[in-house]
Structure 1
């Protein structure tokens, strides 16, 4: 099948919610005294936005084929990532066959390796790769999951991430992952408050509901081990991203020292097959959690998933809406998925990347059937204030 060549690549910046889900207004649970690596500084402890977690905004990548078909994707990275897409990555796309996903990815990654490798540059590459898959699906009139080998189950099953696991249980989710509110700088009192919150949620949710802690890179090894053992009494299913993503040795030791039966998970802020190879070969965790919008896109997620599968490790991608759903439903070692509760009080199910996506599906009673619409099955909301800072 001959595809029309890629004609244009465009990169936009959007502010306010959506893919940059930390870019929220006042009073949102996601910004309420959550433990972070910056919690050691009292002035940055109450709000994650206080230290600039939301300064970049959302990156929107559009790839238009010669016949006018447009694929798009949203991720984080804002204006700096838009510059990388327009000024550097576009040369590997425009005029090319959109089916050359492997070659295009390889050229984007290795051409930026001297200033990239992880972080913002790989976010930009991820956005391009996701937009390319969306375009291919639309050109072929197939959903992305069909491009990836087809579904291995009829529907997705979700756990919820948010401040109210008890409400998530009422909404039909299989588990609730709570933000950890107090880090090492708040001492024994903070540790006690963390355990008290877990105990309260266990009492509300009962014994059979999964409860997890999202530690967002905030802890040291000693604190993480103490937290894990104290939380074990209340049946904590896993402790997530407890340490810096670069501390592979710490994760290895945490996995060894965690209570029997408690899972150690990480990978949200890891990138590429090489980063995940470190996590897997050093036996750092029981579940890897790549974000498809940050780790290198679908093209790289395939390689990461195969590595995990070969090691017998589950891969549960970090919540990234339709971009992970289409992958998870094709993989046996991804038996459930994450849903971020983006309602300010975590008290209702709302679209995760609102208002940037039109037609974004959400779980009902903790489950979701994907449509067979082409691409990722969503459209870009062009009324969200798209700004193209580096138009060519």
Structure 2
């Protein structure tokens, strides 16, 4: 592929208006009263970043990631100039982008930017080959994948065959015993909605400490709690080691939403901390790094559930082609959120399974997004 242009734009797609942003959800900012009521009050730049990569033959590849104007600037001001006018091989291009950012950053926004370009290059390669991404990755091992749902409205999702329902914890240590009781009451609602034999999970979004997480796990005894997700800041390795050593072993630790690279994931696996690894392909360096993460996790015999998979056709393709028994995540944003269709048609989910996207040209933004780049195809 010879790249003639790589462009990026940050576009407001309504992320801040979804219920998970406007309701009380625990976060690292919960200890500051001004920011405790809702995540939208402090969240990082939330415009979606669309990346467009064009080949010399006119073929165009697309991707979508997060990070707003910051990530768009990294793509356009730094990464694009490394690749434009060059014949590229994806793995080498990934290495060049990572190396060029290394003096300043190797996580967060930087890796979202690398992911945005990398996914667009993979999409471009699939289009040039006239194949679906899942086929380029080796072919789907199954046409449908089991799905668990993250939701703020468990009753609305009851009885739909989900392979588990996950809550966002509303409270952390700052809310004391009353907040702990509210978290447990929320889990009881989820268990009732999930029904007999179905798992429930809770995402603490890095808001807790080890003492609080242990108290929560003890209070949750008797509930079908499968895992606690990201209970501590990812750099609190000592706290995570303590949790793994003292918490009921029947409750798993799901970690890695904020692991932005193979190195971050390796750190979690080295200490045996992650019972389930949950990186986000659009944050953790894209498909190229995602393949390495999946290989690393397989070597460690650690299950991987790719974060927010059902909004990312490339994540579904990776799960279908490169995992032996995958489960994927659906984030419930309401019945008609535009966030479901930013990278292709809304995923088809029926009785707890999602259909794997196949065929060429699946990864495509809505026409108004493409038009913002002057692309009318």
State the TM-score, normalized to the length of structure 1: 0.90
Q: CA deviation at 1:215?
A: 0.5
Partner of 1:270: 259
Which runs of 5 or more structure 2 residues have no equivalent in the other structure? none
TM-aligned CA distance change 1:204 to 1:6, over 3 Å: closer
Deviations 1:13-36 (A, max 9, x none): 10133xxx4x226xx244311011
Shift in CA distance, 386/74, structure 1 to aligned 2, threshold 3 Å: farther
Report what 2:349 is aligned to. 363
Deviates most, 253-262 or 120-129: 253-262
Q: Which moved more, 1:35-44 or 1:204-213?
A: 204-213
Output the CA distance in 2 between the equivalents of 1:196 and 1:284: 27
Q: Does the CA contact (< 8 Å) of 2:137 and 2:322 recur in 1?
A: no
2:45 corresponds to: 55
The match for 1:332 among 309, 320, 323 is 323
Once the two structures are TM-superposed, the CA of residue 83 in structure 1 deviates from its matched residue by 1.5
Matches for 1:1-392 after TM superposition, within 5 Å: 3=1, 5-17=2-14, 21=15, 23-24=16-17, 28-51=19-42, 53=43, 55-98=45-88, 100-320=89-309, 321=311, 322-333=313-324, 335-343=326-334, 348=335, 350=336, 353-354=339-340, 356-374=342-360, 377-384=362-369
How far is 1:229 from its partner?
Answer: 1.9
Q: Distance in 1 between matches of 2:163 and 2:290?
A: 25
Q: Please list the CA deviations of residues 288-342 of structure 1 after superposition, one character each: whole Å capped at 9, or x if unmatched.
A: 0000000110100111111110011001010142131111111335521000101
The runs of 5 or more residues in structure 1 that have no matched partner are none
> In structure 2, how many angstroms separate the alpha carbons of the residues matched to 1:359 and 1:206?
30
Q: Is the 8 A contact 1:355 1:384 kept in 2?
A: no
CA contact (8 A) 1:210 1:236 kept: yes
Distance across 2 between alignment mates of 1:241 and 1:352? 27
Give the deviation of 1:182 after TM superposition: 0.9
Offset at 1:273? 0.9
Do 1:225 and 1:258's aligned partners in 2 also have CA atoms closer than 8 Å? yes
Q: Secondary structure at the match of 1:330?
A: helix
Shift of 1:204: 3.7
* Contact preservation (8 Å) 2:207, 2:233: yes
C-alpha RMSD over aligned residues: 1.9
Distance 2:44 2:13 in 1: 9
- Between the aligned partners of 1:29 and 1:11, the Cα distance in structure 2 is 26
RCO (CA 8 Å, sep 6+): is it higher in 1 or 2? 1
CA distance in 2, matches of 1:143, 1:171: 29
Higher mean displacement: 129-138 or 322-331: 322-331
1:133 is paired with a residue whose SS is helix
Q: TM-score, normalised by structure 2?
A: 0.93
Change (3 A) 1:333 1:256: farther
Residues 313 and 333, structure 1, Cα contact 8 Å, conserved in 2: no
Cα separation, 2, equivalents of 1:363 and 1:230: 34
The structural deviation recorded for 1:81 is 1.4
Matched-pair contact (CA < 8 Å) for 2:98–2:106: yes
Against the structure 1 CA distance between its residues 371 and 44, is the aligned structure 2 distance closer, same or farther, given a 3 Å change threshold?
Answer: closer
The answer as to whether partners of 2:119 and 2:286 remain within 8 angstroms in 1 is yes
Deviations 1:124-173 (A, max 9, x none): 00000111111111001111111212212221110000113343232221
SS of residue paired to 1:279? helix
- Does the Cα contact within 8 Å between 1:169 and 1:175 map onto a contact in 2? no
